[in-house]
Amino acid sequence: MGVSENASRAAAEIQNPDWLKLLARIGFGAKGVVYLILGVLAVQGTAGGGTKGALSEIVRQPFGKIMLSVVMVGLAAYGLWRVLQSTLDPENEGREPKALGKRIGWFCSGLAYFALAFSAARIVLGGGGGGGDGAESGTQTLLSLPFGQWLVGIVGVGVLLAGAHQLKQAITADFREDFALRKMSGPEKTWATYAGRAGHAARTVLYVIIGVFLLQAAWTANPDQAGGLGEALDTLQRQPYGPWLLGAAGIGLVCYGLYCFVMARYRKAVVL
């Protein structure tokens, strides 16, 4: 990364409007809550409902509908942040092919979190959030389109590539480039790095499983072969030493939730 690019990234701390920074911070915080709950459920062996199961767990707590309403707003904020991140480029990624790939990924992520916020709204209103993570219904929709099997296969490959990116982050800790390190204490840097590595490692495993599910669905033209986060965690549980694998994945997801909180506080583009 050149000096000019480093300078432009650092400048993002003060150039972005406060409303955009606040939007991102709320979004990262809500995302962290969902991953924390999902990780705890995985450690307990009850994470088969995936992210929607985590939302349902929130609503079962005292004042659950109020808490889930807050999380719902946060998830919508995160979705909007990702869409604006991809379109307005507040972090000065540019228009190089690699940067455009990241921005397209952020846009798709934003749409996914809008869908998750909608699921939270349905739960709050008593309509239920639907089963699993919606992977089967989404795959069925793609399969019904012209060249549907190819489309599902492309999505599967994309998920595997996202898993490879997660693995790279876990190994290299490149995510630290997004931290406002000057504002962090030594212990904060150390524990944020540990949490980020563990969280990205757990997501690597889950992305690979989900990607394989999608490729199987594409090959067989059977949407029942697809699966989301909940199905991926169930797959881990069914393996030899499954409870241990699921527990390790749960701890990793908890770490990712903590990493999201760090991003809410110290990501360069969102520091107030």
Cα torsion through 75, 208, 156, 29, rounded to 10: 10
Q: Among the listed ranges 53-62, 84-93, 128-137, which one has the minimum average pLDDT value?
A: 128-137
- 158-167 residue pLDDT tens: 889 989 999 9
Report the amino acid identity of residue 263. Answer: M
- Find out whether 73 and 26 touch, Cβ atoms under 8 Å: yes
Cα torsion through 214, 98, 86, 182, rounded to 10: 110
Q: What is the pLDDT of residue 101?
A: 83
**Tokens coding 99:** 């940067």
CA 201 to chain CA mean position, Å: 13
Q: What is the pLDDT of residue 116?
A: 84
Cα–Cα distance, 30 to 67 (Å, whole number): 11
Mean pLDDT, range 244-257, rounded to an integer: 93
Report the amino acid identity of residue 165. Answer: H
Q: Residue 10: is its pLDDT beyond 50?
A: no
- CA distances to 27, 119, 225 from 125, in Å: 21, 10, 30
Cα–Cα distance, 212 to 159 (Å, whole number): 9
The fraction of the chain above a pLDDT of 90, given in percent, is 31
**pTM of the predicted protein model:** 0.83
Q: Is 17 left (phi over 0), alpha (psi -120 to 50) or beta?
A: beta
Q: What is the pLDDT of residue 112?
A: 84
- 180-224 residue pLDDT tens: 899 999 999 999 999 999 999 999 999 999 999 999 999 998 888
Q: Which residue has the higher pLDDT, 172 or 143?
A: 172
Cα–Cα distance, 70 to 33 (Å, whole number): 11
Counted residue by residue, the chain has a size of 272
**Tokens coding 6:** 């480093």
pLDDT category of residue 7 using cuts at 50, 70 and 90: very low
Q: Residue 14: is its pLDDT beyond 50?
A: no
pLDDT category of residue 144 using cuts at 50, 70 and 90: confident
**Tokens coding 258:** 């903590």
Q: Where are the domains of the chain?
A: 3-270
Query: What DSSP state is assigned to residue 127?
Result: S
- 95-132 residue pLDDT tens: 888 888 888 888 888 888 888 888 888 888 876 555 45
